[in-house]
A and B are shown apart, each in its own frame.
Chain A
Amino acid sequence: MSFWQNHRFRLDDQPADTTVVFGASRFTFGLDHNTWEQNTGKRPYNLGLHGASSLPMLHDYAVNTEMNGIVLCAISGGFTFANESIPFSERIAKAVKDINKNRYSFALRSEDFTGRVLQANFAVLNPYLYSPIEVLREHLRFPPRKNERAWFHVPFTVHHTEENQDIYIDDLSDPYYMAQWDSMHQTVLTYMERYDPRDLDDAIAQMKRDISLISQRGGEVIFVRFPVSRFFKEWEDRRFPRDKYWDIIIEETGCRGFHYLDNTTTRDLFPPDGSHLMPHQAKVFTRELVKFVYPED
């Protein structure tokens, strides 16, 4: 989590009115930063992290910063309300909890610095592409076992650009990759079924407190619901139906919310893997999201 924490520390150096993005991988894959910048003149600061809930991030922003820009906060059913016992949910909660303790950790800060310098100058030091272990995992291909709910290695379909802010998936035309992504997502859903979600009333109460703090200093929180498809949509519709989650959150918090189904363009976006937009879809989604956030433009 040192990467995320260091990225979060750099938020403190951004202008107070910077647009900040909180959420899971749908935001990291589904927001096209260049498109956003072209349409707004400013680049958003993306703190999205795969598998993470946006709620601890929102809380940290509310209590540990004095920022007053727009906050785009993803609501993604399972991830947002995931039980903090789930490893990928626990780590963001812990990272946020330790933010102030780690702020003065020389080890953490310097690791980030050296890592960035070295990886920027020596491509071979990217373990996701050149680690012999990852290369083996990539090239020794085996089909998933029946009903497999295994730990997942992210196939080489994920690409990073610009200090990992623009992350995108491609090449899902390969059935092997698609099977790997499906297997990975089934495992994620199994985790989220295994542990009961957070209590919605408690979560909303916390969100209202955080939003109140942000509003008092002139900021605005906007909730965003990204497109889903296939078994992911079926699962989220069943476990986190819109009328019991999204609608209640919007009503209780009084915040604006961009739900992909409410927009005639984004409602037809179909993430091929069920959960993440492809680069060309991310551009479309981002344009529509900008129109929603800045309606007068």
Chain B
Amino acid sequence: MLFNSVIFILFFLVVVIVHYLPINWKLKKIHLLLASYFFYAAWNPPFVVLLWISTCVDWVAARIMHRQSSRGKRKVLLMVSLAANLGMLSWFKYGTLFMESFSELVAQFGWQWTPPNFDITLPVGISFYTFQTLSYTIDVYLKRSKPESSFLDFALFVTFFPQLVAGPIVRPNQLIPQFKSPKRATANQFAWGVMLFVWGLFQKSVLADAILGPVAGHAFGLAKEMLVFDAWFATLAFSGQIFFDFAGYSLCAIGIAYCLGFSIPNNFNSPYAAFGFSDFWRRWHISLSQWLRDYLYIPLGGNRKGTHRTKINLMLTMLLGGLWHGAAWRFVVWGAVHGIYLLIERLTFGRYVNHGKISPSARIGGSILTYLAICVTWIFFAAPTWESCLISFRSLIGWTSNPIPVIKTIEIVMITPVIVAMLLGHGYMRNRKLEDEVQRIPNGILAAIFSIILAVVILTGGSDSAFIYFQF
């Protein structure tokens, strides 16, 4: 069920009421676990079995692994966990892509093979909970942590509904310790949680879905040569759409967790104010960036094995990070472009990026250039086909023969302030915390702003479209 649906609000009300009943903590955790399974099964009931498989395999593998002193046996158990989790992910998410790509590949050598039509449905959020539970097994394998003693706490860690289907990807040490003692939000925490939830809904339902999404979706979906202005405008609109969609969802998740007395780490930190590409990845989808760093880049050797190997490790990490985002080669290319960006930064201006003596104007200019370079890469996300990608890139530089306007004037009028406000907001919030800034606003004004936002969210209504990041 979507956060921006009435049924979720009803579900959440029931969960909150039960959570604050005077019952013991274990029962409350069982209730949260059952609610999380219900939340997941509400979408497509059979897929809840995947969650159970993931939970049971990693629970058993980690416990046996911990008792083994033989490195070989520990490795076998890790492989079992990886095979089970990545196997499910590969089949459900990449099965069709791999089979079709294989078919096209062998056709180059004159062998005709038609892949079977398995009609695979992607289970919601599988990329998120797979990575989350893998981090647990890998940590135990690397002896960074001991296996969890409570199956209930571990199952709740894998399944906790606020961040189950679209992140943030939470580490075991961030969430499991919170299950050890009774949690309830204070009045202030609860109010803050509600505010974050509503602000997240506003970003998702109003800004991403109602204002930015239709325009960007059309401009890239039409796949016709656009005027240079329209191509850039659509690209900027998509940059806003994908940010508000995902950051909005993350805020909802964080807000919901707050209302229940839990804390989930922030997933976005004004990414479009980033100065350089490594700074961008410290601010965009932070939980994924850190996961890839800790469980892929560093185990590959990171930057400890020489310059040449560092470049390879970086590119591999970004390529796989790209593939994580979607079952299409466009996402891999997107990852490759980001890898190249990072390499260029590392080899050229990287040493100046964190230099404290950069003038404010140079920093602003650098941030704008970073933002524009990032925007261009979003085309691999926004355009549904390679042809559309190519046409969009050509349109950006005016390499067209018969370009047309694809955006209505009214949309330009409505979107411009949204994009400008987003960029100014990111610039302002670059080194600030939302909580601190909100606390400085007088309560009356805050209540008025909150009421207006809530009213706009309600009037704009739910949407038929699922969160963009649900597909990842």
Contact = CB atoms under 8 A, between A and B. Distances in A.
Interface residues of A toward B: which range? 35 or more
Interface residues of B toward A: which range? 35 or more
A85 B385 contact: yes
A142 interface: yes
Contact of B409 (A145, A149, A153, A194): A145
Given A127-B459, A131-B210, A148 B408 contact: yes
B425 interface: no
B42 A105 contact: yes
B7 A142 contact: no
B405 A111 contact: no
Nearest to B216: A151
Contacts of B221: 87
B459 A110 contact: no
Contact of B5 (A107, A136, A183): A107
Contacts of B6: 111, 114-115, 118
B222 A107 contact: no
Nearest to B45: A104
Nearest to A126: B461
Contact of A149 (B1, B211, B215, B405): B405
Contacts of B405: 145-150
Contact of B407 (A140, A151, A191): A151
Contacts of B407: 150-151
A115 to B, nearest CB: 7
Contacts of B464: 1-3
Contact of A140 (B7, B45, B404, B410): B410
A127 B414 CA distance: 17
A140 B413 contact: yes
A218 interface: no
A14 interface: no
Nearest to A128: B461
B424 interface: no
Contact of A151 (B219, B223, B456): B219
A149 B234 CA distance: 13
A111 B224 contact: no
Which of B2, B6, B214, B223 has the most chain A CB atoms inside 10 A of its CB? B6
Contacts of B186: none
B5 A150 contact: no
Nearest to B412: A142
Contacts of B41: 106
A133 B406 contact: no
Given A107-B7, A151-B406, A194-B223, A132 B456 contact: yes
B327 interface: no
B7 A101 contact: no
Contacts of B206: 133
A124 interface: yes
Contacts of A104: 44-45
A255 interface: no
Given A107-B2, A114-B7, A150-B405, 20 more contacts: A85-B385, A87-B217, A102-B44, A107-B42, A107-B43, A111-B7, A118-B6, A125-B459, A130-B459, A132-B459, A142-B409, A143-B409, A147-B404, A148-B405, A149-B222, A149-B404, A150-B411, A187-B222, A190-B224, A194-B222
A42 interface: no
